[in-house]
Structure formats: structure tokens, C-alpha cells
Amino acid sequence: MAVLYLGTGISYSLLALYCIRHLGLSPVAYGAGMSVAAVLGIASGPVMGSLADRYDGHRLYALLVWIMCVATAAIIVAPGWLALVLLSVLTVCGRGSAAVIGALIGRTVPKDRRIGYRAVVKSLSNSTMLLGLGLGALVLAQGSREAFRFGFAAEALTFVVAGALVWLAIPRGTAVPGREKRDEPVRRSRFEVLKDGRFAALTVVNGVLTLSESMLTIALPLWVSARMHAPLWLVSVAMVVYTVGIVVLQVPASRGVKDVRTSVRAGRRGGLLFAAAALMFPLAALPSGLPLALGAVVLLALAVVAGEVFYTAGSWGLVYEIAPEESLGQYQGFFNTGFDLSMMLGPALFAGLVADRSMVGWGVLAAVFLVAALAIAPLGTRSREASPAGAPG
């Protein structure tokens, strides 16, 4: 995963500029292609997750990553229209692999170590993605078509390595983990998660709370420039605080998450911190003077970081506790659709909040975060009681 995020970091800042500047796509065409890719990505999570419940996750994950390798390498020589198709391929495989890796960790890592393992993976992944962003910045500084192509080639190479490492980790001579040790066959619908109403509601809550992902990347730059009238480098400070904070705090924040009760508590704590962060936006516009503005932005970033590390750990724990062991993939994929939808809706939402002169919208958003945070307990605990996942996992 860390190797994969190194490659993702390289292309994160390159793809849009390459398609528009060097392939001749208009911003409107690129935006339309991104929208199509996002919709396809939402659908791919549950589908790939369901496949991970039926086939070996190591092989499926490696296959998805290698398809991403081929697509990335093809972008180097593809015309504009084909690049948009390849963008959809990358998104489908990327979002599908997120569901597969969640199920794979659930089946190969002992239950009491799953959350800690995912925390370490996320911390390492953020570290390597930061390195990838740095390499991407060097490509942007050079700016030539050849430099962009070199960046994509480097990313494709990381996909090859990531897929190979996962493939080599396949246990030899064993059945698909999670399927042996059954006293009797368990027949389940391929998409039984769609019948789990409470888990669907929990997925909606996940979508609401992961709107926080756009707070620093979308809302803060707009807010600093339009309402705080402060230097834009404050956004860079916030992003450094965020990235370093995730790397340093994700593992410690995850240590106490061991069951439904502790997962609910961590998730609720994260949601309350998101509500506090939303209220900090109008407050950040009040200070006059650079030192106060800097302090306000740093505090806002710290609230988002603390909220994310707690909520992420809690959401991992809830999904693993609620999902039937035989359906980890489709539950992971379906739960991730909440995040995918929030990434689609977040930019428009925060642009509207910045444009709203009354600032009431931030209070409404804080209230929505609060309600979502408080809903985790009844939805999480009751889903656990009603779910077949009550069996040991």
C-alpha cells in the first residue's frame, strides 16, 4: 500500500494539467470525464468487494493494480479522448481495490490486530504519498511533456512493484481465508448488504462525516482567499499540519479501538471534532493580523486531523464488527460509497458555504456533523445485534 501511494502521489497533481496542457482537452471535457469516472468508481467498490468474497483477495488486488499500471503507462501515448477512458479505468480499479484491500486485511490479519494494522498502513501510505507529491512538484516545475511522461512511467513502475508484493504474499496451499472452518455451508446473496437497512444508514452517516475530507483541500483555500484575505501560503501550512498529524497520530488514536463499543466511541469523538472544525471557519475570518490568522488556521487543521484519526479508526472497527465474515468485501465496498459520494458533493457544498455571506451555513454544517456523530451509536450497535456478523470474526 505504501508503494502504491507513492505512485498515486506522483500523479495526483499531474493528471489534470497533462490532459489540459499537453493533450489539448478543455477543462469542461476533463471535468466531464472526471464526473463519469467518479460515478463508475462508486459502483466499482461493491462489485469488486463482492468478487473479493468469492475469489482470493491477493490475486484480485494484484490484478487491479496491474491494470492500473497498464492504464497509467498507456496515458503516456494516448490521445485526449482515450486518456479520459483510461481515467475511468484508473478510478474503477482504484476504488475497487480499496474494498478488496479492506476485505483482504480482515481475512489475513487476526481480529485483534486489524485496526492497528490499518492504522500503520495509513500512516506509512501518507508518508509515501507526501514523497510522491514532492516528486510530482518537481515534474510540474520542469513542465515539459517529457517530464510528465517520466512521472507517469515512474507511477506505473510503483504499481508493478505493489502488485508483485501482494501477489508474493499469497499463502501457499491454503483455501481462501475466511472460508475454511465452516461447520456448514452458509448461502448468502451476492449483494446481501443491500438488504441491511441499518448498515445503509451507517453508510449515509459515513458520507456525511467524510465531507470533512474536503475541508482543508477545498473549503480552506477558498475561505482564506475570499473571506480571511490572508496569504494563501497559510493553506500550505494547514496541509503540512494535516499530513504530519495523520502520520504521527493515526496509530496512537487507533490503539483503544477493539470492539463495537470502542469503535462507536472513537467514531463519535471524530464527528464531534468535525463539528468543532466547521464552527472554526467563521471564527477564523474574525482575527485581524497575520499571527492570529495563522493560529486560527493551525487550530482548524488540528481539529480536522484529530477528528479524522478518531473517526477513521472507529469506522474501520464498526465495519469489521458488523459485516458477516463471508461478506467483508461487499460491506467494505458499500461503506466506501459514502466517502465517494462525499468527494463528489463536497466541492459544490463548500463553494456555496464560502459564497454565503451570512455564515449561518457553517453552523448548519456543524449541526449536521453533530447529528451524524450521535447517530453512530444506535446504528452501529443495533446493526451489530441484527447482523449475522455476530459470529466470531
**pLDDT per residue rounded down to tens, the chain (393 residues):** 556 666 666 666 678 788 888 888 888 888 888 888 888 989 898 999 999 989 998 999 999 999 999 999 999 999 888 988 998 999 899 889 989 999 999 988 888 899 999 999 889 888 887 777 778 778 878 888 898 888 889 889 989 998 898 898 887 654 444 444 444 444 555 667 888 888 999 999 999 999 999 998 889 988 888 888 778 888 888 888 998 999 999 999 999 899 999 999 999 999 999 999 999 999 888 767 888 888 999 999 999 999 999 999 999 999 999 988 888 999 999 999 999 999 888 888 998 898 887 789 999 999 999 999 999 999 988 655 555 444 433
All three cell numbers of 55, joined, read: 475469489
The cell 479505468 sits on which residue? Answer: 89
3-state helix, strand, coil in the chain (%, to 5): 85, 0, 15
How far apart CA 357 and CA 361 sit, in angstroms, is 9
Q: How far is CA 233 from the centre of its chain?
A: 25
Q: Which distant-in-sequence residues (6+ apart) come within 8 Å of 14 by Cβ? A: 136, 139, 140, 148, 151, 152
Contact 34, 156 (CB under 8 A): no
Q: Return the closest-CA partner of residue 331 out of 65, 116, 106.
A: 106
- 223, 285 contact by CB (below 8 A): yes
Tell me the domain boundaries of the chain.
Answer: 2-168, 192-387
> String of b and e for 230-260 (b: at least 16 CB within 10 Å)?
beeebbeebbebbbebbbebbbebbeebbeb
- What whole-number distance in Å separates Cα of residue 5 and Cα of residue 165? 14
Kindly report the pTM of this predicted structure.
0.85
* Integer Cα distance of 339 and 204 in angstroms: 9
CA dihedral 31, 89, 129, 316 (to 10 degrees): 100
Measured in degrees and rounded to the nearest 5, phi and psi for residue 230 equal -115, 165
Coil, strand or helix: which one is 391? Answer: coil
Checking 166-175 for CB contacts under 8 A at 24+ apart, the result is: 166/58, 166/61, 166/62, 166/65, 167/58, 167/59, 167/62, 169/58, 170/56, 170/58, 170/59, 171/108
DSSP string for 3-70:
HHHHHHHHHHTTHHHIIIIIS---HHHHHHHHHHHHHHHHHHHHHHHHHHHHS-HHHHHHHHHHHHHH
Phi-psi region of 173 (alpha: psi -120 to 50; beta: other; left: phi over 0): left
For the domain covering 2-168, report its CATH number.
1.20.1250.20
Domains 2-168 and 192-387 share a fold: yes
Beta carbons within 8 Å of 352's beta carbon, 6+ residues apart: 361
Which fold is adopted by the domain 192-387?
Growth Hormone; Chain: A; (1.20.1250)
State the angle between helix axes of 2-12 and 114-142 in degrees (0 to 180), rounded to the nearest 10. 30
